[in-house]
Chains A and B, each alone.
Chain A
């Protein structure tokens, strides 16, 4: 594939993520923090987010499966996931966490189970999308090209 075409694909792909609400402007903030001195910042932070989230989702599954659910354990996990997803711009994950937290407050186990499923769904979606995005970037870089700068002006 031609370099220019790859770059266009990347831009279109990224745009679609914003339009679908999978990513929000905070992701652009992340990109602003990437430069020649920190060329892999975005992928590093996102990888960290994946590692953190995998662990948290696992802990949440375990906590919610207990006979007696300890919401004092559940809530901080959801809080952290909400924070990190918000920091990278994973809007739908963050929104799912907000709902999750309100049910934690009500100590509604049924609803929390449903929320966890919802969070997982959104998380796997954004994870999949971002992995694709990074692959597209790598292809461009491997072909000697530059990653086009993204602007939220569409």
Chain B
């Protein structure tokens, strides 16, 4: 087992209903996650360290709690003020936090809503009431993010100029490395298929490591 699976994952859960927060908190705890709950999208952004106005000249704007690393955000869709969808957009627009996987929950099964969220970058869309079995889908996303962060750290030590011209080569190498390290872990076949499709279709405009790693 890799180092990644031994450390606990920290999830930020967002829901305006106290009752629902209690439920999702317990579900996540039961799935061995550390949980922080907040009751609104703006509080979620505050917790992450993203100000509403996105002041880049503010030296304190990077993070209010730098020691807290959030591995996943799970949010209700229907909330007053900032909806889960708005929160998703804000997170994905932020350079610092876009790599954090976001999951949307909703009690309403509206296909247009679901596809809109997925298109905006949500990893999963859960229908409420969320079940324990649903949460097992979260681990791969959180592990993937940790792996990505680790390989990004390694890549920084290599020459950064390589990125533009040789990116296809590096992408293939990385995938190969990921596949090798995976042999120690069980693989989820449908995520692998998805990842393979991404490698084939990926263009230069895509962020380099986005979604080409296979889950472990």
Q: Footprint of B on A, CB under 8 Å?
A: 26, 29, 32-33, 35, 38, 41, 44-45, 48-49, 52, 79-80, 82-84, 86-87
Kindly identify which residue among B20, B29, B131 contacts A83, using a CB–CB cutoff of 8 Å. B20
Q: When the two chains form their complex, are residues B26 and A84 in contact, meaning their CB atoms are under 8 A apart?
A: no
Q: When the two chains form their complex, are residues A33 and B107 in contact, meaning their CB atoms are under 8 A apart?
A: no
Q: Footprint of A on B, CB under 8 Å?
A: 17-20, 22-23, 26-27, 29-30, 78, 107, 128-129, 131-132
Q: When the two chains form their complex, are residues A82 and B107 in contact, meaning their CB atoms are under 8 A apart?
A: yes
- A32: chain B residues within 8 A (beta carbon): 30, 132
Kindly identify which residue among B22, B30, B107, B129 contacts A48, using a CB–CB cutoff of 8 Å. B22
The 5 A-B residue pairs with the shortest CB-CB distance in the complex, in nearest-first order: A87-B129, A83-B107, A33-B26, A84-B19, A86-B129
- Write the nearest CB–CB distance from A43 to chain B, whole angstroms: 13
Q: When the two chains form their complex, are residues B128 and A80 in contact, meaning their CB atoms are under 8 A apart?
A: no
A45–B25 CA distance with the chains assembled, in angstroms: 12
A84–B23 CA distance with the chains assembled, in angstroms: 10
Q: List 19 A-B contacts (CB under 8 A).
A: A26-B129, A26-B131, A29-B131, A32-B132, A41-B26, A45-B23, A48-B18, A48-B19, A49-B19, A52-B18, A52-B19, A80-B17, A83-B20, A83-B128, A84-B20, A86-B107, A86-B129, A87-B23, A87-B128
A33–B27 CA distance with the chains assembled, in angstroms: 7
Query: Can you name 13 extra interface pairs (CB under 8 A) apart from A29-B129, A79-B78, A84-B19?
Result: A29-B132, A32-B30, A32-B132, A33-B30, A33-B132, A45-B22, A48-B19, A80-B17, A82-B107, A83-B17, A87-B19, A87-B20, A87-B129
- A82: chain B residues within 8 A (beta carbon): 107
- Write the nearest CB–CB distance from A99 to chain B, whole angstroms: 16
A48–B129 CA distance with the chains assembled, in angstroms: 16
- Write the nearest CB–CB distance from A101 to chain B, whole angstroms: 10
- A49: chain B residues within 8 A (beta carbon): 19
For B128, the closest partner residue in chain A by CB is A83
- B20: chain A residues within 8 A (beta carbon): 83-84, 87
- A87: chain B residues within 8 A (beta carbon): 19-20, 23, 128-129
- Write the nearest CB–CB distance from B212 to chain A, whole angstroms: 35
- Write the nearest CB–CB distance from A84 to chain B, whole angstroms: 5
- Given A26-B129, A29-B132, A32-B132, A79-B26 contact (CB < 8 Å): no
For B133, the closest partner residue in chain A by CB is A29
For A83, the closest partner residue in chain B by CB is B107
A114–B27 CA distance with the chains assembled, in angstroms: 36
- B30: chain A residues within 8 A (beta carbon): 32-33, 35
For A51, the closest partner residue in chain B by CB is B19
